[in-house]
Structure 1
Amino acid sequence: MSDVQKVQVGEVQLAYRVWGEPDAPPVVLLHCLGEDGEDWRGVVGRLAGTHRVFALDQRGHGRSDWPGEYGFARWRDDAIGFVTALGLARVTLIGHSLGAVTALLLAADRPELVDMLVLEEAAPPVPADPPQEVPEQPEGPQSFDWRAKTAVVAERNMPDAFEWDALAKISAPTLVIAGGSTSHIPQHHLAGVADRIPDARLVTVEGGGHFVHEERPGEFLTAVTAFLGARS
């Protein structure tokens, strides 16, 4: 894997890895809750053949700072700061779950920064049913700050209206990837996300579950590369 680098964004240092040619169009990968940039290792090689790929450790995860303060708006602002600090222009954002929410909020808030958008199994901005509970923190060291999980559960149970409103503000061409019947995310919610975004298409990778890029990496990459190729 690529060496880990760090950049200061506001009050936090964010860790990231980078692959691909410096002059290739930029892609920023945003992982799910509890993971870090290493989570993309199964798909990054092919993406780096055509793009400059940046895999970020979001705050509270991996080698980035764990400040104890979390929430989708903070992760969005960190991602905006990351893109601007590195001087990246018109990036393709690929986000999974928590990272997909980060990506869609960024695309809605700062459309000039985003060329294309890929949302894998985005947590829908509707109250979790039944409400989620925070499991007890496991003993021993963790790979991420457990307080981030507490923040995500709170926002999943009572989403802020701005998350739903943000979908209609996204102007970037968008691919929504769903994992089919084995996902814990209600698939009709993902269809609703795609319907709400003005220029979006939905692709279902049956058997992908919530972790499509891990369970079905070939099909995930086929969908993503076809989308990027058609829009370039």
Structure 2
Amino acid sequence: MVKLHHTDLGGAGKPPMLLLHGLLGSSRNWLSTGRDLAKEFHVMALDLRNHGKSPHAPEMNYEGMVDDVIGWMDAQGLSKATLVGHSMGGKTAMLLACRHPERVERLVVVDIAPKNYSWAAHRGEFAAMVELDLASLQSRQEAEMRFEARVENLGMRKFLATNLERAEGGGWRWIVNLPALAEALPLMEKNSLNTEDRFDGPTLFVVGGRSRYAEPSDHALIRTHFPHARIEVIADSGHNPHMDKREEFVRLVVGI
């Protein structure tokens, strides 16, 4: 088990809410949205293992990440919380809710479904990161330029570069555990749930209308695991509805 780092975004004394980021993200992805949610909840954004300020570990799988979150809750004295997870964090949240339903007050899953994926774009992104020569790198802007051959989207190139930080001695290093994540990518693509996994508590799926991660054809599958799921589509949003349409996202989550 890894002892996770977290960022407290406010709302102490209110019902606890935990925010879980996606692959190559961190608690920083939730700062603005988390502070908005803190009007109704005590919001804590976690860095999952091998991400952000949390420790690195050679193992990278959903069961291990669930154990980390449960261990963090135990250390904080939290018996139960509302769980909000985006993408990889959503897969982790789904598994935790199914295996430890007594620890989850409400479940919010953001733009991901309980199915297998084949993330061809992620393979190009990881290749770009692995190929980056850190020894000769001068700036994050230069890293973004070098990513161009593999990563078409400018926003994604900027996002990848946020995982770079200055190392001791003035060079650059990856914040994420890049070797472990690159090796685990095929596993991260797989469905985190087994056929029999089920959570009967209040559940909200928030889907980006311009995203292909959770589509109408997935709704029946979602309800086999989460029979009380409410599925809300934010029409003019991509894979990050908590960033693209923050106000609407917060309204939906607060109303669960």
Same fold (TM over 0.5): yes
Q: What secondary structure, in the 3-state scheme, does the structure 2 residue paired with 1:43 have?
A: helix
Alpha-carbon shift at residue 123 of structure 1 (Å): 4.6
Q: Which residue of 174, 184, 200 maps to 1:142? A: 174
**Residues 55 and 93 (structure 1 numbering): CA distance in 2 closer, same or farther, change over 3 Å?**
same
How far has the Cα of 1:121 moved from its partner? 1.0
Q: Which structure has more RCO (C-alpha within 8 Å, separation ≥ 6)? A: 2
Could you tell me which residue of structure 2 aligns to residue 111 of structure 1?
101
Equivalent in the alignment of 2:31: 41
**TM-score if structure 2 supplies the norm length?**
0.75
Confirm whether residue 165 of structure 1 aligns to residue 196 of structure 2.
yes
- The question of whether the paired residues in 1 share the 8 Å contact of 2:4 and 2:69 is answered with no
Let me know the Cα RMSD of the aligned residues: 2.2
Give 3-state SS (helix, strand or coil) of 1:107's partner: helix
SS at match of 1:172: coil
Q: Which runs of 5+ in 2 are unaligned?
A: 135-172
Give the superposition deviation at 1:190. Answer: 4.2
Q: CA deviation at 1:188?
A: 3.0
Q: Secondary structure at the match of 1:64?
A: coil
Whether 1:200 aligns to 2:233 is no
Q: Establish whether residue 71 from structure 1 lines up as the match of residue 71 from structure 2.
A: no
The one-letter code of the counterpart of 2:23 is L
Tell whether 2:83 aligns with 1:93: yes
What secondary structure, in the 3-state scheme, does the structure 2 residue paired with 1:223 have?
Answer: helix
Cα-to-partner distance string for 1:34-93 (whole Å, 9 max, x where unaligned)? 111111012112211121111100000010001121011111111111112211132000
Change (3 A) 1:53 1:190: farther
Deviation at 1:124, TM superposition (A): 3.3
One-letter code aligned to 1:152: L
The letter of the residue matching 2:40 is T
| Percent of residue pairs bearing the same amino acid type | 29
Amino acid corresponding to residue 78 of structure 2 in structure 1: L
1:175 equivalent in alignment to 2:204: yes
Q: Which has the larger radius of gyration?
A: 2
SS of match in other structure, 1:59: coil
Give me the whole-angstrom Cα distance separating, in 1, the residues matched to 2:27 and 2:188. Answer: 23
Specify every segment of 5 or more residues in structure 1 that has no aligned partner in the other structure, as ranges: 1-9, 228-232
Partner of 1:187: 215
Q: What is the aligned partner in structure 2 of residue 4 from structure 1? A: none
Paired residue for 1:230?
none
CA distance in 2, matches of 1:68, 1:76: 16
Compute the displacement of 1:186 (Å).
4.5
8 Å CA contact retained: 2:9, 2:31:
no
Judged with a 3 Å threshold, the aligned counterparts in structure 2 of structure 1 residues 60 and 51 are, in CA distance, closer, same or farther, namely same
